[in-house]
Amino acid sequence: MNFRANIIILLSLFMYSITGNAQADGGQVIATATLGQEHAVMMVNPSPTTVGIVTVIVRVSAGLLPAQSFLTAHGASGDAPIQCALSDDPDGLGQRAMIECSDASRWTLSARVTTPHGDIELKGEFQVAPAPPKWQSQSPWILAWVPIAGILYIRQVARRHAKHYDASVESFLPTRNF
Amino acid sequence: MNAPATIWSAWNFLAPFTFVACAILIVYWRGWRRLHRAMPARWGWRRGSFFSAGVIALWIALQSPIDALASWLLAAHMTQHFLLTMIVPPLLLLGWPMPPFLAGVPRWLSRDMLGPILAWPRAQQVGMRLTHPVTGWLAMVLLTWGWHLPVTYQLALEVPAWHVVEHMCFLWGGILFWWSVVAPYPWRSPWPRMAIPLYLLSADVANTIVAAILAFSPSAIYPWYESTAPIFGVSALTDQQEAAAIMWVPGQLVYLIPAVIILFSALSSTRSQRAQQFKSIALPQFSISNRRAKRQIFDVLALPVIGAALKSARVRGAIRWVMLLGALAIIADGWFGPREASTNIAGTWTWTHWRGFAAITLVAGGNLACMTCPLIAPRTFLRRFITPRFRWPRALSTKWLAAALIMAWLLSYEIWSLWDSSFATAWIIAGYFVAVTVVDLLFEGATFCKWLCPIGQYQMALSVASPMEVGMRLADVCSNCQTQDCLRGNAAAPGCGTGLFMPKKVGNLDCTFCLDCVSACPHDNIGLLTRVPFVDITQDRWRSSIGVLAKRMDFMVLLAVIAVGGFANAIAMTEPALALVQYCREWMGGNYLAVMCVVLASMIAIALPMVVASLIGSTSRVDIRMRFSHMTLSLLPLSIAMWLAHLGFHFVTGFRSALPPLQRAAQDLGVNGLGSPQWSANCCAIMPAWLIPAQLMILGAGLLVSLSLMWLRAERSIESDTRTSLPSMFAVARRGFIGMLASLCWWAIGVWIVLQPMQMRGLLNS
């Protein structure tokens, strides 16, 4: 029981620092269009975009729902364009697809959105930068031990300077002005 | 705003933060319960409710549809920020979180980790400065202004990493600001309480200025929302005015209400009441003694079903017979099945699945691989009819032979590409069975396991990292025992085949987890107990059947070979190593010679930091052999991490390749019930995105343990030299420097290996 609790507690302490996590989409708006009073927008993320998997998000006003989107993407390399249908987002706000941008160049995206009120064409471009070296993209994981080592080091320093640290828990509570 | 009705389905219930929030609440309520028992008046339900409401508000801010809408509507984003800065921090602080957290975390963590840091005067100074009202006020005002500038706001919308930073700034800035207002127990404000209304009103003015700029701006300040807000039927400007209204009106209320409450409270209380209030703030009394808390030990054998099953010699024997059937199936398929290893269970199960699974269970559980070893099933059966007559020669009772066999195993694995030959694999397993049976029918005890088995030695070395060990439940019972059945055996069960005497047994080395000692013990005093991983290799005390580990050079060489082998085995599958083999093959003309040279060269290169550190390191003033021993033991965790990262990689990438060979073998036998093999699972390795980060994290964990052991060794050696406790940090760092450098070298090699393109062994395209 205690063993399991320890694992949960360790995990919570480790992850408490990421409570500022954001799930919302962000990225780069690359195209907007209107159909009467209704609007559509296309964005890509992550931003800045590098070689690899890129998420394309298409969203339309509620008045245009339900909508179906079909995407065509190509880079400057002259390879065959990527064509795919977008799938519905879980939040019901729009549709998304993941494409693999294989070369570092300027990519062109065009999406045809079919709605009950007619079709909308969204077309835009975005720059794909070369993929960073593997050690660079993995550097947060490579160096994940450093903060823990830092805490252990601070603890060693504190052991040498703290007074009564090995007494009961009440001595852990700072006494002066706390 | 006309968001579709489906937006309300955008709750992110299964996000990692949900589990984090639950874990935070568990820790808090665990500590709160202890405090409530000691001081029910001070720690009432109100405190817990405030804190829980704060965590729930935080969860709503981050995982509800508000978050999904935040990048489309400024008003939604403002609501999210309002929750993060104005609602969540005061609620969390009203729960007085610090004492419950200290009481809620495990005792070792509060005592050994948080205790020294919190009682460190410098940490207290930093704490006082951070929680000073001036810091809180500046944090709130500057962060509010800074993050509402168009350039920073736009950056947060475009780059997810900056969005995270923005949210963290708002949350932690809010906590610093509200700290002085709430004054969470047992913190005492350096300012008089009467100053807090002014503190709040001045911050309100700063907030109102930003809200007014947003409200009265003639155009949209943030270009992002010009594209996204119309999706919801509002113009960017209207959206901005709605956001300003949220910031202005509810924002102002959140500042003004506590200001009024504090003002009235301060004016209505008399001097004596204030003095009484001040006096009543006493530090909490926890029911923890000054002595080091005894670690709670969990015993697997005490569990109702699993424990009873493991204690039964019949059940353990049955498990081994089932494993034996599996081994016989592997041998049969290796001999008579297709030669292509990836289509044969001898090729896939043996090298991809069993090795990876065994490594994971060794580190996560215990030496379950030896416990379920099918090799000892035949010998156990045959010993009913044949009694071994001989004792293993004393001259061979060392680990030298085992070390040589491991070396031979590592080399032959690469030279003959054993993973790629199901036929050779089947012969090796069959030969292994014969060797174990012959040796153990000739010699007493578990001679093969203890002195010869290279797989067993490797597994016992890895189980140094296990959180489980076979140990005595109560020391007093063993000290009064006269019969020593755990060692000698009795009519019920044989004693320990590897000669371990339970009261003197330390750690998992030489323990096969066979649990014969459990069956033999007449006092039911042996259990499968939890322990602190690696703790035994920090100790130089005498241990049963081994002696002082650091003085056993044969043992140290064995562990060094396993440690170096972990890296060499992984290097051999990287593209640069394969290219080097190809180059050597062309240069030397022989394939076997080229592979052997590359493997040996890599082993020498990997061993070099360890050897050099042993030669020139100054971890202690003892002789070079002890330095080598300490270096080997300290580097062992890093090597175990490498084994785990490497074999875990094959296990994960080749996981789906287990079924098709079984389906093929079943079809060969005329059994079609398992379906047709889908060979795509055996030709295309799927590498999940989390795998490389997980490997790197495992290596990092191994490095941390190795560095800690180096530090501990250096500290102890100075303490023994100077007869002082807690030597200076500089002295310890200087003494352990070379060893730590060697650890970093090995870690760097490990990281390099993980980041290399890998040969997908055991798969069709390898």
d(CA B587, CA B413) in angstroms, rounded, equals 22
Is B663 domain-assigned?
A: yes
The last residue of one of the domains, among B516, B549, B582, is: B549
Is B293 domain-assigned?
A: no
Measure CB to CB from residue B102 to each of A8, A63, A172 and give the nearest one.
A172
User: Which of A141, A143, A153, A155 has the most B C-beta neighbours within 10 Å, making it the best mutation to test the interface with B?
Assistant: A141
d(CA B742, CA B725) in angstroms, rounded, equals 26
- Indicate if B99 and B144 belong to the same structural domain: yes
- The pLDDT value recorded for residue B187 is 79
> A47 vs B703: CB contact, 8 Å cut-off?
no
> A151 vs B113: CB contact, 8 Å cut-off?
yes
Statement: residue A174 has pLDDT above 70: no
- Indicate if B231 and B363 belong to the same structural domain: no
- The pLDDT value recorded for residue A25 is 60
Q: Are A27 and A47 in contact (CB under 8 A)?
A: yes
Please report, as a single letter, which amino acid is at residue B307. G
**Touching check for B10 and chain A: CB below 8 Å?**
yes
- Indicate if B257 and B329 belong to the same structural domain: no
Place of tokens 């109560």: B474
C-alpha distance from residue B451 to each of B1, B403, B454, B752 (Å): 77, 9, 9, 34
Is B622 domain-assigned?
A: yes
Nearest CA distance, B616 vs chain A (angstrom): 25
Statement: residue B643 has pLDDT above 90: yes
Average pLDDT over residues B731-752: 93
Full residue range of the structural domain in which residue B751 is found: 552-670+680-755
Chain B residue at shortest CA distance from A14: B20
- The pLDDT value recorded for residue B648 is 94
Place of tokens 């289509």: B343
DSSP single-letter state for residue B654: T
- Indicate if B100 and B233 belong to the same structural domain: yes
Nearest CA distance, A44 vs chain B (angstrom): 10
Q: What is the pTM of this model?
A: 0.80
Statement: residue A97 has pLDDT above 50: yes
- Give the model confidence (pLDDT) of B496-550 as tens digits: 999 999 999 999 999 999 999 999 999 999 999 999 899 888 888 899 989 999 8
Is B290 domain-assigned?
A: no
C-alpha distance from residue B556 to each of B143, B400, B510, B549 (Å): 57, 10, 13, 8
Statement: residue A20 has pLDDT above 70: no
> A163 vs B124: CB contact, 8 Å cut-off?
no
Q: What percent of chain B has pLDDT over 90?
A: 57
> B7 vs A60: CB contact, 8 Å cut-off?
no
Q: Which residues of B touch A163 (CB under 8 A)?
A: 119, 121
> A168 vs B67: CB contact, 8 Å cut-off?
no
C-alpha distance from residue B50 to each of A173, B25, B98 (Å): 21, 11, 14
| Average pLDDT of chain B to the nearest whole number | 88
> B117 vs A177: CB contact, 8 Å cut-off?
no
pLDDT greater at residue B753 or residue B4: B753
Q: Which residues of A touch B98 (CB under 8 A)?
A: 173
* pLDDT classification of B722: cutoffs 50, 70, 90: confident
R_g of chain A computed on alpha carbons: 25
- Give the model confidence (pLDDT) of B373-429 as tens digits: 999 899 889 998 999 999 999 999 999 999 999 999 999 998 888 888 899 999 999
C-alpha distance from residue B655 to each of B7, B270, B347 (Å): 38, 73, 13
**Touching check for B701 and chain A: CB below 8 Å?**
yes
Measure CB to CB from residue B157 to each of A26, A32, A166 and give the nearest one.
A26
- Indicate if B264 and B383 belong to the same structural domain: no
- Indicate if B571 and B717 belong to the same structural domain: yes
Report the candidate in B139, B18, B130 with the shortest Cα–Cα distance to residue B67.
B18
Place of tokens 């995105």: B689
* Sign of the dihedral defined by the CA atoms of residues B219, B225, B229, B230, in that order: positive
**Quick check: helix, strand or coil at residue B281?**
coil
- Indicate if B557 and B527 belong to the same structural domain: no
Statement: residue B635 has pLDDT above 90: yes
* pLDDT classification of B243: cutoffs 50, 70, 90: very high
Report the candidate in B129, B297, B147 with the shortest Cα–Cα distance to residue B207.
B147
d(CA B620, CA B635) in angstroms, rounded, equals 16
Q: Which residues of B touch A177 (CB under 8 A)?
A: 128, 187-188, 190
Torsion, Cα B110 B169 A50 B691, to 10 degrees, reads 20
> A26 vs B71: CB contact, 8 Å cut-off?
yes
Statement: residue A10 has pLDDT above 80: no
> B158 vs A47: CB contact, 8 Å cut-off?
yes
Measure CB to CB from residue A12 to each of B27, B84, B728 and give the nearest one.
B27
Other C-beta atoms lying within 10 Å of the C-beta of residue B728: 11
Q: Which residues of B touch A10 (CB under 8 A)?
A: 109
d(CA B248, CA B271) in angstroms, rounded, equals 36
Q: Alpha helices of B299-399 — where are they, by DSSP H?
A: 305-311, 313-336, 345-348, 355-364, 368-371, 376-382
Is B188 domain-assigned?
A: yes
Is B766 domain-assigned?
A: no
Statement: residue A71 has pLDDT above 50: yes
- The pLDDT value recorded for residue B683 is 65
- Give the model confidence (pLDDT) of B597-622 as tens digits: 999 999 999 999 999 988 887 655 66
> B110 vs A169: CB contact, 8 Å cut-off?
yes
Q: Alpha helices of B109-235 — where are they, by DSSP H?
A: 115-118, 121-130, 133-147, 150-158, 160-182, 196-216, 224-228
Nearest CA distance, A122 vs chain B (angstrom): 13
- Indicate if B467 and B535 belong to the same structural domain: yes
pLDDT greater at residue B637 or residue B105: B637
- Indicate if B248 and B375 belong to the same structural domain: no
- Indicate if B252 and B309 belong to the same structural domain: no
Measure CB to CB from residue A93 to each of B68, B116, B751 and give the nearest one.
B68
- Indicate if B257 and B218 belong to the same structural domain: yes
pLDDT greater at residue B384 or residue A62: B384
* pLDDT classification of A137: cutoffs 50, 70, 90: confident
Chain A residue at shortest CA distance from B63: A23
- The pLDDT value recorded for residue B752 is 96
Assigned token pair, A93: 């706000």
From chain B residues 275-294, the ones with a CB under 8 A of any chain A CB are 283-286, 288-290, 292
From chain B residues 163-222, the ones with a CB under 8 A of any chain A CB are 163-172, 186-188, 190
DSSP single-letter state for residue B559: H
- Indicate if B560 and B686 belong to the same structural domain: yes
- The pLDDT value recorded for residue B270 is 63
Q: Tell me how many domains chain B contains.
A: 3
- The pLDDT value recorded for residue B176 is 92
Q: Where are the domains of chain A?
A: 28-127, 133-173
- Which CATH number does A28-127 carry? 2.60.40.10
Q: Are B540 and B323 in contact (CB under 8 A)?
A: no
- Count how many Cα atoms sit within 13 Å of the Cα of residue B665 in the half-sphere of its side chain: 27
The last residue of one of the domains, among B275, B292, B318, is: B275
> B120 vs A162: CB contact, 8 Å cut-off?
yes
DSSP single-letter state for residue B247: H
